[in-house]
Structure 1
Amino acid sequence: MVAESNPARRRADSSPRLPRRRLRLALAALGLAALTGAAAAPLAASAGVDPGAGQQAAWAAGSHAGSHAVGGMSPAGSRQAADDEESGLRVRVAPTIATSLSFGAPVAVSVEIENATGEALAAGVVRLVRSGSAIDDQAALDDWLAPDLEGTTGITSSNVPLAESESRSLAAGGATVVAFTVPGEAFAELDGSPVVGLGAELLVGDTVVAAGTSAYANADVPASGSVAVALAAPLTVPTSGGAAGLIDAGQLENWTGPTGLLTRQLDALAGRRVAIGIDPRIIASIRALGTTAPASALSWLQRLADVPNEVFPLAYADADLAVQAQLGLPALLTPTSFSDALDPANFAAGAGNGVDTGGGESAPATDEPVEPEPTPGEVPTTEELLEWPYTRTDLAWPADDTVAAGNLAYFDAAGLTTALLAPGNVEPVDGPASASATIDGSTALVADAGLNAPLRAASEASTDTEWREATGELLAELALDAGASRTTVLATFDRGATSQTARVSALIDAIGGSGWSSLAGLSEAIGAPPESRMLIDEPESDERRSQVARMVESEAQVTEFATVLADERLLTGPTRRELMSLLDVAWLDDREAWNAAVADWLVTQRGVLGSVSVVPSSTINVVSTETGVPTTIENDLPYPVTVVVDVSPSNGRLIVEERVEQTVEPESRSTVRVPVAAGVGNGEVTLEVSLTSPTGVPIGTPVEIPANVQADWEGLGAAVLAAIAILVFGIGVWRNIRRRRRERAAAAAAAADAADDSVTGDAPVPAADSVHGDAHATDDDAPREPARD
């Protein structure tokens, strides 16, 4: 979440009071202009200000969170207001070197002016002031930083002019720093004040166009005690613009490189007294690559295992816990499988996952990653990919101001028995409060409102002046609370914001090294005596809950659809991981981009549900009593699927004899015949062809195929064929009879001729064989009787 600009220092959520705060800041600028107009010029000369030293080169600067400029009004009464959140003019005031003030020597102060508008800013005059009275309690500090409308203290009435200097013109997007050197004697009246306020305004002509205030601990006042501060910081990655259930190798190599995001995050946190909330997706993504994981990622993972910090898991992909509780899901979402992303070839004998968890003990630091030997040929289980030696696993860290009534009990039931809550989610108490609290019977650690805002502003600061201002305000809060009788307090870094890691490490060191504070662990905060607090009901918007409900329903549909696969995890695993990545807390900062990403994901899931379907067909002619209806099934998935094909006729002209189970290869089509039998009568029939998984889950949309049934054609055709066969057979028999008769007639005629020759005494002509002396007696040589009719 973006840090609030010039945050009001109070132990409650400041967001509901933004409109009032703007009016406060406008009034602050009015008072500053009215009281500094007459005295600034003489003091500038007496304070030894070098106007030329105040001009520095401008550099490109974008719009930054945590600015401290306000709209102002002309001391002459032109009443031209300029709100920083609308105009983009910001003024920041900070000591040039330190994050606290000491008056034993001249004080160097820097005033940074940022023009984040789209227009050029004319040259003007910068006026520097200080608080006119001691800031020794929370009310006085709140009034100085953001005075009440009806207040009479703070910048509106008690500021003291210190100096003024010229400011050069600024192009759109430019920034400059105006330097002041103020004698320590100018702060003599505040020698005993634990906190001193500084302010500045920018005038163009007679108009105050921007102003800002800040507060710093007085290093000359001995600390009356020390506040134990527990810090929690996330170790996460940005959203990738879509549903990224796993981080790919290229991104991991980039982020774990020498100057990569994850490397810089670990540099800022490792070895310092800060609890680290780790996104398990990072660990699983590295381990899932096996031997193909980048060397830098394996080294980073080993380094993470070696840190002495308290570590605890966030939800996978830092998924929003509160919205899950408010939807009443049966249980918090967790990854179900990584089998789709695991290649057995990457887990051969001797291949390691880059870290030895040692049953919860950190491995000794070495130059090379420790690589245990997995079972040859076996891929790691989901549990093995997610396993890590966390210090504790009972913490819930929901997004800021998202927890509603009943959510803490839901977290308890899920095993997350201690929740880290933002200050805006809990009713404030009178006076300083410790972090440990009991809310609706549940244990919680409540972040301190006065520390959280400057902590986050400092971690995201883009310039040195901005960082010193935010860090100074945080130390001022601690200086006021140093003597309070409270135990450990909590401050949390933001998730989803672009933290400057160098600023984070310097900030942690500043808190631990100040005279007003010390660093503590989360275990100390949790173990402190709790205070009863009241939850502020902050449910997430109806629109967001409705959108997430659609996503959960879509995932459930894909889970049922996945029963067409031999290994359902190939679909259910990535779908669950992608769903959780779209619930990443970081998306809350960009609702428009989140809506677009969710819409794309839902379209993709609808595509998955429609990836196995029946191909529509033209009219089928059924001309036999028993046949098969040809059905073509299309599979667009990269995996083989098994479906059951069922045909349902619209009337009794066709009877489906059985359902057919068919396996279709990846990204292909297959035709199957479903047996049907002709019923009573002929005519048109509509066949509804539908698919189900082997477990009975409907797959795709049924398809209607028209059919024309003429089953009696089969009998008619058989009769015609039989008639033809009989006719052909009859003709053959008749021809044989006629041939035999002709043969018999010819034989009879020959016999008669032979008889006639015998009677007349004609010598018979000898046979050819007889000429050669061969005699062959045959039955044909015997005399034949005349044929009788």
Structure 2
Amino acid sequence: MRVTRGPGVWAAWLLALALPLTGVLVQANSLAVAHATEESGEIDAAEDAADEAAVTEDVEFVVAPVDPVILATQEEVEFRVLLRNSGKRSLPDGSIELSLGDQIVSGSVILPTGPEVAESDNRPAPVVVATEQIGVTAAASEQEVTVTVPMDEVPFALSTEPGVYRLYAKYVAAESSSQAALTAYSPIVWQGTSDPTANVKVSFIVPLLLPEDVHSMPSRPQLEDAVPGLDDLLDFATQTDAMLAIDPRIIAAVRAYGDEAPESAQEFLARLERSSLTSFTLQYADADPAAQATLNFEGLLMPQGLDFITRFGTWSSQSEAEDEAGSDAEGTEGEGSTSDGTGGTDSDPENPDDPQSDAPATDVSATVDTAADPVTGEPTLSALGDWPGGLPGAWPADGRVSNETMTLLDRSGLDFTVVNSSNVTLTGGPQATLGDGSAAVTDEELTSGVQLALGGATDAERNLGAAQAQARLVLAAMTSEHGLVLGVDRGGIVDSEDPIDVLESLISQDWVQTTAFENQAEGTAVLEPAEPDAERIELLERAAANESAVLETRALLVHPEYLDSYQRMRLLNLFATRNAAATTNVEELERAYFERDEELQSGVSIVGTKKAQLVGVSSRIPVQLRNPLPFDAIVTLSAAPTSAALSMSERQFTDILLPEDSTEGVLVPVRSRVSSGESSILLSVTSTDEEFTSSTDVLPVSISTSLESIAIASLAVAAALLFGFGIWRSVRRRAQSAGE
């Protein structure tokens, strides 16, 4: 596609280069404001400009090459452009102009901002290679277009110097619109590195996590579904000699179910235990230590038990092994750190978003220890999450580590920290000392590129992430930079449909040499403190504070300790580092979490208390009890008339068993003392010891026993008439027979 470039085009691009540009998503920038000579016209123009600016703020404009590396052997190059309009006004139709810079980039893949963009590099304006028309983008919608450019239109196609170049895009609305122009940028790799022998050492930290829809501990079907993805990640980690960061819920769940765990999960855990890769366990559910430090927790948040899932387990093989070894029937404590999980039932053990704990919000680090069952061979709590040989490490949310975070980790005995380069000043290699401990310093540009490549919502965004990541690797290789560490994004890796494809595309290039973290150059890191997002911290503080209120309903349960475990795991899951991402909808997270909190706090409730009609002297009135809790409840129902019009031979119904998430009916016997009138029954649901009241209600009763008398009299009359009619017919027939 050939485009004629006149002076107006060059001027437009010089102006575009003076605008702020970023390496990920470039928000729209206003290029023009209407001019007016009259005062009233100036006011109108200003108002119009303000309206257009409001529209612009709600628009995202993205451009990226379909393939992050362009080769001279290609006949054409494809680019993707995305326009996303999250505002309430339509974005008019217009044109998209793509341009390529023909000057090689050095240093950062993120462009500098401001007027110095054009001046600092002393480079010519980019070359326009394509113009594409695009239709109206309706409010709350998006559209993505693919633009194909023949190779002979690419300005650096004849260049002999491989490297990183710049791709620009500009959207200009139709002439009839006053819509401001939008600009976007992406790096692009031509051929690779200028030195074919240049490479950069890259070390991976690969997280092994459960899918996002596991809100507490995984059920057996969920565990089985997760294994194929975990196997693939372990394969990749083995191939690249990566470091593993493991959610202990995976380890603990397989051990908690024991012989009842899916066979594939048992095989995966056995393989993981045999692996020689360097590894460490995260907090349960990958909870964020940085957020806990901001909330002034005295210790790291810990589970409160795994009884609610070990109830589904059997451990015959373990018991037999212990018997053969002559082990003590009481068992011993497992080595390493103790950990404790919580979830719902086997069918849905991870009901979302609820905080709970006996301990105050600022003292939630205490662990619960249990002895091994001498009959079943159930593992101890500490043994369920034990990971001997693992590093005493932690991985707070990227870019959120503060001095308080480091103090909390030190107090918890964790002296190895994964920290993002945006959070420290690094001298030397990424295998660094940090305070009194050690750290793996992950590269911010590479990490953010891979994060977008994994978790981008559209092809264009994922292409942009891949381009940024590959450009970062090429630049590092060409500048003989110290090696890089990639901490694979923990949110993206569980949400991406093909994370292995994204990761393997990074290591498939000649300029990338994978290596174990221990082989990286050593350096020194100085913390540049940062704090977690205030809105997220407010949510976590409320959730932790509400924990004790939710736990009050434990008094209704057959096994109260199940709710302790379940609620704590819900809280840990709410603390997950994936929720620290800038794209997290905190309001939606809060709504879902506290909806479940309210459901759990409601305990066993009385439902359907509409007015009852008592048409006889005595009756049995049904009362419905609802148990929304994820565990079996046992309660007492008390009933008492509110007036002398009713009497009750039985007022208390004890030991009513309600299975988890169920509704059961209770028949309450009632006797009327009057023929008609209005009364009611006071109902109350309490714990079996009657110390905790879960629900109270008043059931209105309308008394109409006269209806019963009328009905009986009517039946008597009907019976008499039928009897008389029968006698009359018999007499008549006999008379007729006698006459014949």
Decide whether the 8 Å contact of 1:434 with 1:488 is kept in 2: yes
Partner of 1:471 in structure 2? 466
Against the structure 1 CA distance between its residues 70 and 503, is the aligned structure 2 distance closer, same or farther, given a 3 Å change threshold?
A: farther
2:422 to 424, 433, 443: 424
Aligned match for 2:529, one of 533, 536, 554: 536
> Quick one: which of 134, 155, 159 aligns to 2:125?
159
Q: How does the TM-score come out when normalised to structure 1?
A: 0.57
SS at match of 2:531: coil
Partner of 2:504: 509
**How has the CA–CA distance of structure 1 residues 665 and 281 changed in structure 2, closer, same or farther, with 3 Å as cutoff?**
same
Per-residue deviation, 1:106: 6.0
Return closer, same or farther for 1:549/1:463 CA change in 2, 3 Å cut-off: closer
Which of 286, 291, 305 lines up with 1:337 in the alignment?
305
> Quick one: structure 1 residues 383 and 400, their matched pair in 2 at CA, closer, same or farther if it must change by over 3 Å?
same
Task: Summarize deviations over 1:63-114 as a string: whole Å, max 9, x none.
Answer: xx954574564799999878998444534231x54x32444x5662222122
For the 8 Å contact 2:60–2:84, the answer to whether it is kept is: yes
Output the CA distance in 2 between the equivalents of 1:72 and 1:183.
Answer: 33
Q: Which digits, 9 at most, give the CA deviation of each residue in 1:150-193, with x for residues without a partner? A: 43348997333242243353665332211001328832785446
Q: Do the aligned partners of residues 67 and 348 (structure 1) sit closer, same or farther apart at CA in structure 2, a change above 3 Å counting?
A: same
1:621-672 alpha-carbon deviations (Å, 9 max, x no partner): xxxxxxxxxxxxxx9995789xxxxxxxxxxxxxxxxxxxxxx95759xxxx
Which SS does the other structure have where 2:300 is aligned? coil
CA contact (8 A) 2:83 2:143 kept: yes
Match of 2:578 in 1: 586
The alpha carbon displacement at 1:291 in A equals 4.0
- The aligned amino acid for 2:132 is E
Q: Could you tell me whether the CA contact under 8 Å between 1:134 and 1:190 is conserved in 2? A: no
The answer as to whether partners of 2:24 and 2:464 remain within 8 angstroms in 1 is no
Is 1:445–2:417 an aligned residue pair? no
Is the alpha carbon distance of 1:91 and 1:330 closer, same or farther for their aligned partners in structure 2, counting shifts above 3 Å? closer
Provide Cα deviations, 1:753-784, integer angstroms capped at 9, x if missing partner. Answer: xxxxxxxxxxxxxxxxxxxxxxxxxxxxxxxx
Tell me which moved more, 173-182 or 300-309: 300-309
1:93–1:200 CA contact under 8 A, matched in 2: no
- For the pair 1:324 / 2:295, whether they are aligned, the reply is no
User: Secondary structure of the residue that 1:495 maps to in structure 2?
Assistant: coil
Instruction: Give me the whole-angstrom Cα distance separating, in 2, the residues matched to 1:295 and 1:32.
Output: 65
8 Å CA contact 1:226, 1:482 repeated in 2: yes
| Structure 2 CA distance for partners of 1:181 and 1:236, relative to 1, 3 Å | same
> What residue number does 1:148 align with?
114
Q: Distance in 1 between matches of 2:457 and 2:530?
A: 34
1:246 is displaced (CA, Å) by 1.5
- Alignment-derived partner of residue 261 in structure 2: 293
Match of 1:197 in 2: 166
Q: Which runs of 5+ in 1 are unaligned?
A: 1-29, 38-64, 361-373, 612-634, 642-663, 669-690, 703-789
Alpha-carbon offset, residue 396 of structure 1: 0.7
Q: Write the deviation string for residues 277-299 of structure 1: whole angstroms up to 9, x where unpaired.
A: 22111332343334443445445
Q: CA shift at 1:393, angstroms?
A: 3.0
Partner of 1:252: 223
CA displacement, residues 419-439 of structure 1 (integer Å, 9 cap, x when unaligned): 11233333x46xx85323444
1: CA distance between counterparts of 2:392 and 2:55?
A: 42
Deviation at 1:490, TM superposition (A): 2.0
- Per-residue Cα deviation, 1:314-349 (whole angstroms, up to 9, x for no partner): 101111212222333332122232123323774445
Describe the shift of the 1:345–1:452 C-alpha distance in structure 2 as closer, same or farther (beyond 3 A).
closer
> Is 1:233 the counterpart of 2:199 in the alignment?
no
Equivalent in the alignment of 1:493? 488
Hey, what's the Cα distance between the residues in 2 that align with 1:605 and 1:168?
51
Distance 1:300 1:74, change over 3 A: farther
Deviation, structure 1 residue 531: 1.4
User: Which residue identity does 1:381 align to in structure 2?
Assistant: T
Change in 2 beyond 3 A, CA 1:262/1:602: same
Q: Are the equivalent residues in 2 in contact too, given 1:424–1:536 (CA < 8 A)?
A: no
Kept after mapping to 2: 8 A contact 1:291/1:352: no
Partner in structure 2 of residue 599 of structure 1: 594
The match for 1:411 among 409, 412, 425 is 409
Alpha-carbon separation, structure 2, partners of 1:106 and 1:328:
57
Q: 1:82 to 1:562 in 2, by over 3 A?
A: closer
- CA distance change for structure 1 residues 73 and 275 in 2, over 3 Å: closer, same or farther? same
Query: Is 2:31–2:181's contact at 8 Å kept on the other side of the alignment?
Result: yes
Residue type of the alignment partner of 2:474: A
Aligned twin of 1:675: none
Unaligned runs of 5+ in 2: 1-7, 16-22, 36-44, 322-333, 337-372, 606-626, 636-653, 659-685, 695-740
In the alignment, what sits opposite 1:92? 63
Q: Which of 410, 425, 431 matches 1:436?
A: 431
The alignment status of 1:573 with 2:539, answered yes or no, reads no
Q: Tell me if 1:278 matches 2:241.
A: no
What SS class does the counterpart of residue 573 from structure 2 fall into?
helix
Structure 1 residues 36 and 476, CA, compared in 2 at 3 Å: closer, same or farther?
A: same
Match of 2:195 in 1: 222
Supply the RMSD in Å over aligned alpha carbons.
Answer: 4.9
User: TM-score, structure 2 length as denominator?
Assistant: 0.61
Q: Note the alpha carbon deviations across 1:250-271, whole angstroms, 9 max, x for none.
A: 4334444x6xx65665676564
Counterpart of 1:378? Answer: 377
For the residues of structure 1 that align with 2:9 and 2:69, how far apart are their CA atoms? 25
Alignment-derived partner of residue 513 in structure 2 = 518
The equivalent position to 1:169 in structure 2, one of 135, 149, 152, is 135
For 1:268 and 1:88, the matched residues in 2 are separated by 37
Indicate the SS of the match to 2:566.
helix
Number of residue equivalences: 541
Contact 1:67 1:91 (C-alpha < 8 Å) held by counterparts: yes
- How far apart, in 1, do the equivalents of 2:60 and 2:531 lie? 32
In 1: Cα distance, 2:9 partner to 2:242 partner: 41
**Is the 1:344–1:379 contact (alpha carbons within 8 Å) kept by the matching residues of 2?**
no
Question: Whole-Å Cα distance in 1 between the matches of residues 586 and 441 of structure 2?
Answer: 26
Q: How does 1:716-727 map to 2 (within 5 A)?
A: none
Would you say 1:482 and 2:477 are equivalent positions? yes
Supply the distance in 2 between the matched residues of 1:554 and 1:121 (Cα, whole angstroms).
Answer: 44
The 2-side partners of 1:75 and 1:188 are apart by: 38
What secondary structure does 1:174 align onto? strand
Q: Which has the larger radius of gyration?
A: 1
Q: 1:701 to 1:560 in 2, by over 3 A?
A: closer
> How big is each residue's C-alpha offset from its partner over 1:482-525, in whole Å with a ceiling of 9 and x where there is no partner?
25565332222222347665653234333333333322323334
Counting aligned pairs with the same residue, the percent is: 22
Aligned to 2:725: none
Change (3 A) 1:463 1:274: farther
Q: State the Cα distance separating 1:557 from its structure 2 match.
A: 7.6
SS in structure 1 of the partner of residue 294 of structure 2: helix
Give deviations 1:563-605, integer Å, cap 9, x for gaps. 9999874453333323322322233423223323443455467
Aligned-partner residue type, residue 378 of structure 2: V
Q: Quote the residue 1:315 is aligned against.
A: 283
Matches within 5 A, 1:615-654: 638=632
The one-letter code matched in structure 1 to 2:169 is A
**How far did 1:135 drift?**
2.0
Equivalent position amino acid for 1:584 in 2: A
- Describe the SS at the equivalent of 2:132: strand
**Residues 177/378 of structure 1: CA separation in 2 closer, same or farther (3 Å cut):** same
* Whole-angstrom distance in 2 between the partners of 1:91 and 1:538: 29
SS of 2:471's equivalent? helix
